[in-house]
Amino acid sequence: MDIKTIEWKNNSIKIIDQTKLPAKLEYLYIRDLKALWNAIKELKVRGAPALGAAAALGIYLGIKDYKAKNLAGFNKELQKISRYIASSRPTARNLFWGLERMKNVAVKNQDKPVSAIKAMLFKEAQKVIKEDMLACRLMAGYGAKLIKNKDTILTICNAGILATIDYGTALGIIYKAKEEGKRLKVYASETRPLLQGARLTAWELKKNNIDVTLICDNMAATLMQQGKIDKVIAGADRIAANGDAANKIGTYNLAVLSSYHKVPFYIAAPASTFDLKIKSGRDIPIEERKAQEVTELFFKSPISAKGIKVFNPAFDVTPHNLITAIITDKGIIRPPYITNIAKQLKKNK
Q: Torsions phi, psi of 4, nearest 5? A: -115, 130
From candidates 78, 121, 198, 345, binder to a copy of itself by CB under 8 A? 198
From candidates 142, 167, 203, 274, binder to a copy of itself by CB under 8 A? 203
From candidates 150, 313, 346, 348, binder to a copy of itself by CB under 8 A? 313
If the CB atoms of residues 107 and 308 are measured against a copy of itself, the closer one turns out to be 308
From candidates 202, 210, 232, 267, binder to a copy of itself by CB under 8 A? 202
- Window contacting a copy of itself (CB under 8 A); options: 68-76, 141-149, 257-265, 340-348: 257-265
- Kindly state the smallest distance separating residue 294's Cβ from a copy of itself, in Å: 6
Direct distance between the N- and C-terminal alpha carbons of the chain, in angstroms, rounded to an integer? 31
Give the distance from CA 215 to its chain's centroid: 21
Q: Check: CB of residue 260 under 8 Å from CB of residue 227.
A: no
> Rule CB under 8 A: which of 151-180 touch a copy of itself?
156
Q: Which amino acid is at 330?
A: K
- Kindly state the smallest distance separating residue 205's Cβ from a copy of itself, in Å: 9
| C-alpha span between 276 and 108 (Å, rounded) | 23
- Kindly state the smallest distance separating residue 182's Cβ from a copy of itself, in Å: 19
Known active-site residue 111: no
Determine, following the binding rule CB under 8 A, whether residue 3 of this chain makes contact with a copy of itself. no
- Kindly state the smallest distance separating residue 248's Cβ from a copy of itself, in Å: 8
For residue 108, with 0-12 CB atoms within 10 Å meaning exposed, 13-18 middle and 19 or more buried, which class applies?
A: exposed
- Window contacting a copy of itself (CB under 8 A); options: 8-16, 202-210, 325-333, 340-348: 202-210
Which candidate in 237, 244, 316, 329 is catalytic?
237
Angle at 305 (CA atoms; ends 309, 297), nearest 5 degrees: 85
From candidates 193, 235, 243, 270, binder to a copy of itself by CB under 8 A? 193
Q: Check: CB of residue 202 under 8 Å from CB of residue 212.
A: yes
If the CB atoms of residues 316 and 329 are measured against a copy of itself, the closer one turns out to be 316
Determine, following the binding rule CB under 8 A, whether residue 195 of this chain makes contact with a copy of itself. yes
Side-chain-facing half-sphere of 231: CA atoms under 13 Å: 25
Side-chain-facing half-sphere of 220: CA atoms under 13 Å: 30
- Kindly state the smallest distance separating residue 336's Cβ from a copy of itself, in Å: 22
Strands 331-333 and 325-328: antiparallel
Q: Check: CB of residue 267 under 8 Å from CB of residue 173.
A: no
Which of 204, 198, 194 is CA-nearest to residue 174? 204
From candidates 295, 324, 328, 344, binder to a copy of itself by CB under 8 A? 295
Distance set, CA 78 to CA 11, 36, 93, 113, 318 (Å): 19, 16, 19, 15, 35
Determine, following the binding rule CB under 8 A, whether residue 72 of this chain makes contact with a copy of itself. no
Radius of gyration over every alpha carbon of the chain, rounded to an integer in angstroms: 20
From candidates 206, 283, 292, 335, binder to a copy of itself by CB under 8 A? 206
If the CB atoms of residues 181 and 307 are measured against a copy of itself, the closer one turns out to be 307
Q: Give the count of residues interacting with a copy of itself (CB under 8 A).
A: 58
Determine, following the binding rule CB under 8 A, whether residue 259 of this chain makes contact with a copy of itself. yes
Distance set, CA 321 to CA 98, 255, 343 (Å): 29, 10, 18
Please report, as ranges, the residues that interact with a copy of itself according to CB under 8 A: 22-23, 156, 187, 189-193, 195, 198-199, 202-203, 206-207, 211-223, 225, 249-250, 252-253, 256-257, 259-260, 294-295, 297-298, 300-313, 316-317
Residues with a catalytic annotation lie at 237
